[in-house]
Structure formats: C-alpha cells, structure tokens
Amino acid sequence: MIGIGSDHGGFALKEAIKKHLEERGLEYKDYGTYSDASCDYPVYGRAVAKAVAAGECQLGILICGTGIGISITANKVPGVRAALCSDCFSAEATRLHNNANILALGARVLGEGLALKIVDTFLDTPFSNDERHIRRISMIEE
C-alpha cells in the first residue's frame, strides 16, 4: 500500500499520480487534501508519514507546491526518510542508498510527465542492502 497526500498546491498532481497508480495496478490510500481549497501541508505530510512509520503503508508520496515544506514535516516523524526529488537519478539513488520510504514532489517545480517518471523510478527501485548504506541509515536513525 502506498500512502499519498498533498496540500492544495499539490492537489492536481496528486490526482494525476493516483490515476497513474491505478493504471499500474498499485494500491494506495489517499490521506488528503481532497480539493484545491487552501489548507496546511503539515496536516497531510504528518498523516502519510505516520502511516508509513506505523507500517500501514510501505511507501509514501507527498506533494506540495515546492515539496520542501511537506518533506520537512514528514522527516520529523521517527522512522521516516522522506526525499524531495526533482529528477529520476535522485529518486533512484535515494531508494538504492538511503532506503527512502517517502517521495516528496514539488507540483510547481515539475511537469506532470516528469513527476510520473520520478514516481515510477522511486517505486520500482529496491534498496541495495549494501552494508555501507545500512550502516549510514543506522547512523541517521540514531
């Protein structure tokens, strides 16, 4: 299960990502927001982050205007490693090296086509299980 959430600035891109996940046959849970009415990104960033940290969702996707605020919010939740990505290389590297469990995107930074490619890269890239990366993740969690 993939948790997905956004504020008003990321709402349209969130809806496009949900459609894309459905087309891929992937299950998701939408934690809001449910319209483009102005709202506060920490509410939705925290909801998805808590679901991922609790194991209710294996991975998460968060979207706000820049992706910055919502990723900062998510990273406040213990057990979360949220990565703001604006390119496919970063999405791949953060899964391989950091075992990131939440992808953050900036809807006002990315076009929909690139955003969907980043989502696919993030979801399709497994963690490397390399000893040095495991050691570094442990250091982060401490």
Q: Residue 60: CA atoms inside 13 Å, Cβ hemisphere, count?
A: 37
Give yes or no for a contact between 54 and 88, defined as CB atoms under 8 angstroms apart. no
| 85-114-101 Cα angle (round to 5) | 35
Is 64 tagged catalytic? yes
Is 20 tagged catalytic? no
Which of 39, 64, 85, 88 is the catalytic position? 64
The alpha helices in the chain, defined as continuous H runs, are 11-23, 41-53, 68-74, 88-98, 112-124, 131-141
Which of 20, 88, 97, 133 is the catalytic position? 97
Question: What residues are annotated to the active site?
Answer: 64, 97
